Amino acid sequence: MRPSAILEILKQVQSGALSPEQAEQKLKISPYEDLGFAKVDHHRGLRQGAPEVIYGAGKTPEQIVAIAQSILRNGDTNVLITRVSPEAAEKITELPGLRYDPVSRIAVAGAQPVLKPVGRVLVACAGTSDLPVAEEAAQTAEALGSRVERLCDVGVAGLHRLLDHVEDIAAARVVIAVAGMEGALASVIGGLASCPVIAVPTSVGYGASLGGLSALLSMLNSCASGVSVVNIDNGFGAGFLADRINRMEGPDT
């Protein structure tokens, strides 16, 4: 339940459209609903400003649908579902307003966002092979209400491709740098940006990349200040954190 939903209930009590007992009943639904296989946290939006996000991997389509319906039923206008396989996406079409992106494997159910996107999150992707993780980050931030811009295929093997976008980096409130292999992109961007940089190592690379471990260690050892690191392939975590940082400065001026 979002803070706006709580406020609406209180306004209805104030106007007399809702009795205190009816309001109590609505609020009793929170803080969670026990579905047996999942306990859906309906106070997540009140605490964090965004409703619970469903991690789709490992869940059956039926479980995804039940959790999403619970979230929508209890006052949230949309729900974000990550790591949804194309096969599962075909089986959850009963969710209202479902939008699915096969690259990021992100699905969003519920009403289309009506608020104007705020701020500026820049997602820089080292190579085309890193796009699934980069898009997971970008679409997560977009679903939460951030304005997102993308730089694709700007890895350090062709540094001029990145340097052509120095002004874009300077204008961002937060940059997400997504890279596999040796993960050098985050350090380079960290040396150019005055805003926070969130580094996302990916599992892209040959044998000694060790499934993203080499990129992770490189990013953790970055000599550039202001670089933080999330887990391997964790585009969602980067997008969520970027949205929070983006909103700290308030709306655009």
Query: pTM of the predicted model, to two decimals?
Result: 0.83
What is the rounded CA–CA span in Å between residue 193 and residue 163? 12
Backbone dihedral angles phi then psi of residue 168, each to the nearest 5 degrees: -65, -40
- Give the Cα separation of 78 and 112 in Å (integer): 8
pLDDT at 222: 92
DSSP reduced 3-state for 52: coil
Longest dimension (CA), the chain: 67
pLDDT for 1 equals: 54
Cα radius of gyration (the chain): 20
pLDDT at position 250, please?
65
pLDDT along the chain (253 residues), means of 10: 69 87 68 81 75 91 93 82 94 92 93 78 96 96 93 92 93 96 94 96 94 96 94 97 87 57
Residue 37's pLDDT is 87
Residue range 38-59, pLDDT digits in tens: 888 877 776 777 778 999 999 9
197-201 and 227-229 beta bridge pairing: parallel
- pLDDT at residue 5, as a whole number: 67
Strand partners, 126: none
All CATH 3.40.50.1970 domain ranges of the chain, comma separated, are: 118-247
Query: For 193-207, b where at least 16 C-beta lie within 10 A, e where not — what string?
Result: bebbbbbbbbbbbee
Report the pLDDT value the prediction gives residue 4, as an integer from 0 to 100. 63
Architecture label for domain 118-247: 3-Layer(aba) Sandwich (3.40)
pLDDT score, position 40: 83
Task: With beta carbons less than 8 A apart as the criterion, state whether 123 and 138 touch.
Answer: yes
- The residues, ordered by sequence, that sit 6+ positions from 149 with a Cβ below 8 Å of its Cβ are 120, 121, 122, 123, 168, 172
pLDDT value of position 114: 58
* Residues 105-142 pLDDT 10s: 999 998 776 568 889 999 999 999 999 999 999 999 99
